[in-house]
Amino acid sequence: MAPPPPSPPRSLTSVSLRTPLSPLLFLRPASCNPSAVSGSCSSGACRGVRCSAANKPSPSTAPGTEVSSTSMAKIRSEVLSPFRSVRMFFYLAFMASAGLGALIALTQLIPALSSPARAAAAGETLKGLGIDVAAVSVFAFLYWRESKAKDAQVAKLTREENLSRLRIRAGEGRPPVPLGELRGTARLVIVAGPAAFVTESFRRSKPFLKDLMERGVLVVPFSTDGNAPDLQFDEADEEEEEAAAAAGKMKRRLWQLTPVYTSEWAKWLDEQKKLANVSPDSPVYLSLRLDGRVRGSGVGYPPWQAFVAQLPPVKGMWSGLLDGMDGRVL
């Protein structure tokens, strides 16, 4: 009996290793990208795939692979102002109705002015034409105002979406994740300026570290001069950690976020300073709400004490009830 024909060789199957990102600080391990083969993985579980650890943006953020910032901003604009489209539709309908009435009145007015027999009705027709023209003007103004407000809101939300796609790293050895991954779990404060400014901001925040952590505040220090800020606790803080290790760990988490791909951060900050007519060299801070929208910004040191007074805690009986009470957006 002839031996059975050999089975065809199995082809490698692309494996998608995706682990959902836990909120806040419990970040996923480095993800594996099946798009190419590389021998840089030391773990046997990643054979046949490539572990993405290069200092470059993830392929998932490449143009055309996700919803653009502008499209997402338009969706959020519809959610934030659900009745704006309805109002704009009715404004257009009223404009069309008044314009049609004005056209009919104009066709009646021309013969009335040219014929002495119809001159008596010319005054009433002229009055109706004036009302229709005034109505068209009013509704056109209302439509223009709504359209302008919509464009301004979409532009602001687009900038916020671009901010949410900037990447950070929570501690050494952690993979970079988009800033938007912390929406709903943390109130971020971005401190951008020279290393000395960041260090002084850190020093000023130390009396309020515990209160800031209770309010879900996390700081993203961004040194614009390329130097590393000194974010070390002094001896008194170390002694406090020995007395209360859990509280000490929470305090250290407040300043553990680190921006990655700093050229993208610098570009975004320069655009915001230009829009706000702020000098490019000025140190600034930005405070974000839980939903990721900008609730406050300014030149100089962040007002830590004001944050403690204004923001509600995110734990205990206040959790969930006051999540949106972060103050109005800018």
Helix (H, G, I), strand (E, B) or coil at 80: helix
How big, in percent rounded to 5, are the helix, strand and coil portions of the chain? 50, 10, 40
pLDDT for 10: 42
Q: Write out pLDDT tens, residues 252-286.
A: 677 888 898 889 999 999 988 988 898 888 999 99
DSSP calls for 287-309: EE-TTS-EEEEEESS--HHHHHH
Q: What distance in Å separates the CA atoms of residue 222 and residue 168, rounded to the nearest whole number?
A: 10
| The pLDDT of residue 112 is above 90 | no
pLDDT for 68: 78
Q: How confident is the model at residue 328 (pLDDT cuts 50, 70, 90)?
A: low
Q: What is the pTM of this model?
A: 0.63
CA triple 180-75-71, angle to 5 deg: 80
pLDDT over 90 for what percent of the chain? Answer: 25
201 in Cβ contact with 191 (< 8 Å): yes
Q: What distance in Å separates the CA atoms of residue 177 and residue 57, rounded to the nearest whole number?
A: 10
Q: Write out pLDDT tens, residues 90-100.
A: 999 999 999 99
Q: Residue range 313-324: average pLDDT?
A: 57
Q: Which residues contact 262 (CB under 8 A, 6 or more apart)?
A: 222
pLDDT for 78: 83
pLDDT for 250: 53
- Of 254, 257, 294, 292, which Cα lies nearest the Cα of 272? 294
Q: Write out pLDDT tens, residues 232-245.
A: 755 455 455 454 55
Distances (CA, A) of 257 to 25, 97, 147, 175: 9, 57, 38, 12
Q: How confident is the model at residue 248 (pLDDT cuts 50, 70, 90)?
A: low
pLDDT for 194: 92
pLDDT for 189: 93
115 in Cβ contact with 138 (< 8 Å): no
Q: What is the 3-state secondary structure (H, E, C) of 50-80?
A: EECCCCCCCHHHCCCCCCCHHHHHHHHHHHH
| The pLDDT of residue 57 is above 60 | no
| 79-88, 248-257, 294-303: range with lowest mean pLDDT | 248-257
Q: What are residue 324's phi and psi, to 5 degrees?
A: -90, 0
**Domain 166-308 of CATH type 1.25.40.10:** no
Label the pairing between strands 257-259 and 167-170.
Answer: antiparallel
Q: Residue range 152-158: average pLDDT?
A: 87
Domain ranges of the chain: 72-163, 166-308
pLDDT for 94: 93
CA-CA-CA-CA torsion for 121, 122, 127, 128, nearest 10 degrees?
70
Q: What distance in Å separates the CA atoms of residue 324 and residue 327, rounded to the nearest whole number?
A: 8
pLDDT for 92: 94
DSSP 288: E
Radius of gyration for the alpha carbons in the chain, expressed in angstroms and rounded: 30
Q: Write out pLDDT tens, residues 189-221.
A: 999 999 999 999 998 988 888 888 888 899 999
pLDDT for 304: 93
